[in-house]
Amino acid sequence: MALNEEALQALKTELLDELVKEDPSKSQLAERLAEIRSADIGEVLEELIEEDEELSAALTVLDILSTERAANVLGYLPKESQLEVVGELSDSQVLKLLEEMGSDERADLFNRLGEDRREALLRRMAHQEREDLKRLASYEEGTAGAIMTSDYVAIASGMTVSQAMMRVRQTAPDAETVYQLYVLDSDGHLIGTMSLRQLMVARPGALVDDIMIKDVIKIPVDKAQEEVARIVARYDLLALPVVDADGRMVGIVTHDDAMDVAESEATEDIHKGMSIGQLEDGVSRVPLWSLYRKRVFWLVLLVFANLFSGAGIAYFEETIAAQVALVFFLPLLIGSGGNAGAQAATLMVRGMATGDVGVKDWSKMLGRELLVAGSLGLTMAIAVAPIGIFRGGEAVAIIVALSMVTIVLFGSLIGMCLPFVLERFKVDPATASAPLVTTLIDATGVLIYFSIATAILAGV
């Protein structure tokens, strides 16, 4: 059974109680830890490490575990915590841990170490290992190369089924997955793939070249990681092979890593939708200075954008002076337009991210939004009209109701179209965030409201 929040807290207390004893019984602790999953130990250690004084407790736990298990647990820690742990260990301890980590996690951790530490570690590695690590560590963050592992099962073209099966058994302990196999020619080009399931039901003497699927779904090493997640999800893959520019196989991304990417991409999109830049860690751990920087940019920019709304109000000062009751409805009208517009923008941005909406759907979406936003505007106008009569009489009611329909309709169309426009100019459509859309609509709303008011009041 997976551990829940309370069980994790109890485990943490239990570990701490044992560890603060004068002479903690390591064998007893080891026995207890053996029953607990690496992901759960990782969670407890993460909390211990965050509370600075308990870092040594976390180190003791890692020390008690076998190197393989410790490497596994380390892989579940957030990157900041990994660095804190590694900072307390000797080079030879770190080397042992690195050796046991998956090649993708190894390269990831290695990349975050200081220059000196990296040099010291590289000097002590075997040639092959060093080259492998350097290669994996060289891919740019956010690309397929940066999240792939080189621990996959490669089958040489020309092998028989039983030879391939032998190879699977030999590689089983090290490979990230043995359930999807890749056939390479003598130059390392990826020429086919097969599942272990296919291999198991094939005739032992058959050639892998005859049973493999030749049309392999693969991805170039420099493609964006969200593309990896999209392809894995779309074709329900266990693993996606990664190839270099010449079609040579360089690694795989497994389904669990693709799922992690999809989650962090969703988080990034959600944050972007509120004009927050990409955080390098969870919100509870990211340094405050970084959190400030990722939030301040658009906030300050939008302060200036909001000046247009103010200028709009100043321009209509006479109209306002003639009917002060109008100001009462200002927040309501521009707020409503902003909300409807932010909804429309969000629907499009997410639709584009999931592949549900494409650029070619623009006109269809425009037609749909016209109908929906028109109905929304009418409903809201009907809701607000009685208050208009109550506060300022019939003329104000008509002004407010008319403005509501127009502002909601305009706001929704601005919100809907902006992501398409951005995409057209190769800007991430997610830049059409709620704050940006709301600010644009605020300014438009002020103009619409007071123009309608001026016209109607002049007519009265």
Residue 369 contacts by C-beta under 8 Å, 6 or more apart in sequence? 344, 412, 413, 416
Applying CB under 8 A, which of residues 19, 64, 221, 380 lies at the interface with a copy of itself?
380
Report the nearest approach of a copy of itself to the CB of residue 117 (Å): 28
Report the nearest approach of a copy of itself to the CB of residue 344 (Å): 9
Three-class SS state of 175 = coil
- 154-193 footprint of a copy of itself as x/- string (CB under 8 A): --------------xx--xx----xx--------------
Report the nearest approach of a copy of itself to the CB of residue 67 (Å): 20
β-pair type (239-243, 219-220): parallel
Question: Is residue 439 a contact residue for a copy of itself (CB under 8 A)?
Answer: yes
Report the nearest approach of a copy of itself to the CB of residue 194 (Å): 13
Residue with tokens 């009208």: 333
d(CA 145, CA 243): 9
Edge-to-edge strand list for the sheet holding 219-220? 219-220, 239-243, 249-254
Question: Is residue 397 a contact residue for a copy of itself (CB under 8 A)?
Answer: no
Q: Name the residue nearer to a copy of itself (CB basis): 225 or 438.
A: 438
Q: Name the residue nearer to a copy of itself (CB basis): 35 or 116.
A: 35
Report the nearest approach of a copy of itself to the CB of residue 120 (Å): 31
The size of the interface with a copy of itself (CB under 8 A), counted in residues, is 114
Residues 129-148 touching a copy of itself, rule: CB under 8 A, are none
42, two tokens: 């990782």
Stretch that binds a copy of itself, among 24-32, 125-133, 419-427, 440-448 (CB under 8 A): 440-448
Residue 50 contacts by C-beta under 8 Å, 6 or more apart in sequence? 81, 285
β-bridge partners, 261 = none
Amino acid at 124: R
Backbone angles phi, psi at 432, to 5 degrees: -75, 70
Question: Is residue 427 a contact residue for a copy of itself (CB under 8 A)?
Answer: no
Q: Environment class of residue 260 by beta-carbon count within 10 Å: exposed (0-12), middle (13-18) or buried (19+)?
A: middle
Tell which residue, 339, 338, 294, has the closest CA to residue 439.
338
Applying CB under 8 A, which of residues 87, 158, 204, 310 lies at the interface with a copy of itself?
310
- 34-63 footprint of a copy of itself as x/- string (CB under 8 A): -x-x-x------------------------
β-pair type (190-195, 180-184): antiparallel
Indicate if the alpha-carbon torsion angle 247, 251, 255, 256 is positive or negative. negative
Stretch that binds a copy of itself, among 20-28, 86-94, 123-131, 439-447 (CB under 8 A): 439-447
Q: Name the residue nearer to a copy of itself (CB basis): 210 or 256.
A: 256
d(CA 74, CA 251): 22
Report the nearest approach of a copy of itself to the CB of residue 302 (Å): 6
Residues 332-371 touching a copy of itself, rule: CB under 8 A, are 332, 334-336, 338-340, 342-343, 346-348, 350-351, 354, 356-358, 361, 364-365, 368, 371
Report the nearest approach of a copy of itself to the CB of residue 351 (Å): 5
Stretch that binds a copy of itself, among 33-41, 105-113, 154-162, 447-455 (CB under 8 A): 33-41
Report the nearest approach of a copy of itself to the CB of residue 100 (Å): 16
Question: Is residue 22 a contact residue for a copy of itself (CB under 8 A)?
Answer: no
Applying CB under 8 A, which of residues 137, 442, 452, 453 lies at the interface with a copy of itself?
442
d(CA 252, CA 250): 7
Q: Name the residue nearer to a copy of itself (CB basis): 382 or 421.
A: 382
Report the nearest approach of a copy of itself to the CB of residue 340 (Å): 6
Question: Is residue 387 a contact residue for a copy of itself (CB under 8 A)?
Answer: yes
d(CA 104, CA 106): 5
Residues 190-229 touching a copy of itself, rule: CB under 8 A, are 196-197, 200-201, 215-219
Residues 250-309 touching a copy of itself, rule: CB under 8 A, are 255-256, 258-260, 262-263, 266-267, 269-271, 273-276, 282-285, 288, 291-292, 295-296, 298-300, 302-304, 306-307, 309
Backbone angles phi, psi at 276, to 5 degrees: -105, 130
Question: Is residue 313 a contact residue for a copy of itself (CB under 8 A)?
Answer: yes
